[in-house]
Amino acid sequence: MKHPFKRLPVLFALALTWGLAVPVATWAWLINASPEVEATNPERVGKTELDRTRNATLLSGYDYDKYVVAITGYNGQDRQEVVFWNRQHAVRTRVGPRGNYKCGMTVLKDGKLLLATCKNNNDEDATKKIFDIFVYSSTDNGETWEIIGETPLTGKEPSLTALPDGSVVLSAQKGYFGPGTKYKEEINLARSTDGGRTWKRSVLRGSDLPRNMIAEKDGSLLFVRAAKFDWSQANVGSPNFQLCRSRDGGKSWSFAEGLIKWDKKRRFGEVSAIRLRDGRLLATIRSLQKGAPNKDMHGFGITLLTESRDDGKTWSRPRAISRTAEVHAFLTELKDGRLLATYSNYHLPFGVYAIVSRDGGRTWDRDHPVQLALSTHNQVGWPVTVQLGDGSLLTGYALTAYLKQPPDKFVTETVRWRLP
């Protein structure tokens, strides 16, 4: 059978399927002369002063306390724009039954894919929300998924990391998510030496969400996260990174602090870090938009990027790479040297998107986002993207597919696609 991607259009083609679309401007890659600057007022967005004035009228007057996590759908968006669409064939697959939610994904040494997803096992009962974690595998590049089984872990936002020795480490935010939840000073870990079929459980001290870990060339693990953070209190925590290192597959850990050159009052979490081929460390972080009228990192979260050239000891001043309410960023370095950031829209149109950098993360083509999936509601995201052997990309994510049909409103999906 001929490969399904052989005849894909190349020029300006961006990944889409089932009616999904990609914004396309009238010029190609936009490379700015200076790094992106974070806006200080999410109601003052736009390319010109006249645009900003018009947007301020359109984006004002909201009582954010009347919206769930302050999301109106228009948060901080430039409404002085129209969008031209291109479509490209892709392969989209549901992973497991309805009710599966956010996921992590990795590629094993033999090319097999592993995906871990979480599912609320107590329906809509807000007093007993506990998320079980299930593992699936694929031997056909994500076209089909087979469940391996349930892990000994419970928690949200799982991640998977394959190590050079063939073992896999699974991490997840710990615990119970009902009223009065306080994020405990540890997260869940588990290690598998048989391709994800059985797991030995452990924990990692510290509370920040485990977005992903870095498998170093020497076989060690590096996990970059906020030194201390409580998502229930936007101004509590440390303004620096904690570098967590393990040389025994996650059994034991050492800790060091990475100093970030920025406003020491800023707080953040949800770090996605990557070791580039040139040795640099890059990290995206989720923080509160400057000038936000509501202190909620959903409706007014923003993604910032920082880099380290001394193995994590010091980090550059973070700069914005997203617009308001674009979060859950995950970094992937592609074989051709481009850098991909996959993220979630907490504004309209709700869904999963990606942007590309052609200069190692210095600038990003925000005028040409790839729209990978649409969601009926803002409960979407935690995307993770891996590049497969043939150069295609596979993105796993969660979205709300059944808005009026609780309790199993959510699904886990993967989409296989290509960048031009």
One-character DSSP codes across 152-185: EEEEEEEEEEE-TTS-EEEEEEESB-STT----S
DSSP assigned state of 85: -
Tell me the mean pLDDT in the region 42-47. Answer: 89
The pLDDT of residue 36: 60
Write the CATH number for 299. 2.120.10.10
Is 39 within a domain?
A: no
Pairing of strands 319-320, 326-333: unpaired
Is 31 within a domain?
A: no
Residue 253 · residue 242 · CB < 8 Å: no
Is 359 within a domain?
A: yes
Q: Where in 216-338 does DSSP place strands (E)? A: 221-226, 241-246, 254-260, 268-275, 281-288, 301-308, 314-315, 319-320, 326-333
pLDDT above 80 for 203: yes
- Total tally of structural domains belonging to the chain: 1
The number of helix segments (H) and strand segments (E) in the chain equals 1, 24
Core vs surface per residue 381-411: b (16+ CB within 10 A) or e: bbbbbbbeeeebbbbbbbbbbeeeeeebbbb
- Domain that includes residue 222, residue range: 49-417
Residues 6+ apart with CB under 8 A from 336: none
Residue 167 · residue 198 · CB < 8 Å: no
Is 36 within a domain?
A: no
| 176 confidence band (pLDDT: 50, 70, 90) | low
Any alpha helices (H) in 59-167, and if so which ranges? none
Is 1 within a domain?
A: no
Please count the CA atoms within 13 angstroms of the CA of 193 that sit on its side-chain side. 7
Is 127 within a domain?
A: yes
Report pTM: 0.88
Tell me the mean pLDDT in the region 50-66. Answer: 95
Tell me how far apart the alpha carbons of residues 76 and 70 are, in angstroms, rounded to a whole number.
12
Nearest residue to 384 (alpha-carbon basis) of 374, 376, 375, 372 = 372
Tell me the mean pLDDT in the region 253-268. Answer: 88
Residue 249 · residue 163 · CB < 8 Å: yes
The contacts found for 353-359 with CB under 8 angstroms, 24 or more apart, are 353/326, 354/15, 354/383, 354/385, 354/395, 355/321, 355/322, 356/419, 358/29, 358/31, 359/31
Residue 411 · residue 391 · CB < 8 Å: no
Element (H, E) at 58: helix 49-58
| 53 confidence band (pLDDT: 50, 70, 90) | very high
| 122 confidence band (pLDDT: 50, 70, 90) | low
The pLDDT of residue 37: 64
Is 16 within a domain?
A: no
Tell me how far apart the alpha carbons of residues 298 and 286 are, in angstroms, rounded to a whole number.
10
Tell me the mean pLDDT in the region 218-225. Answer: 93
Nearest residue to 323 (alpha-carbon basis) of 16, 103, 18, 55 = 55
DSSP assigned state of 1: -
The pLDDT of residue 128: 58
Is 42 within a domain?
A: no
| 2 confidence band (pLDDT: 50, 70, 90) | very low
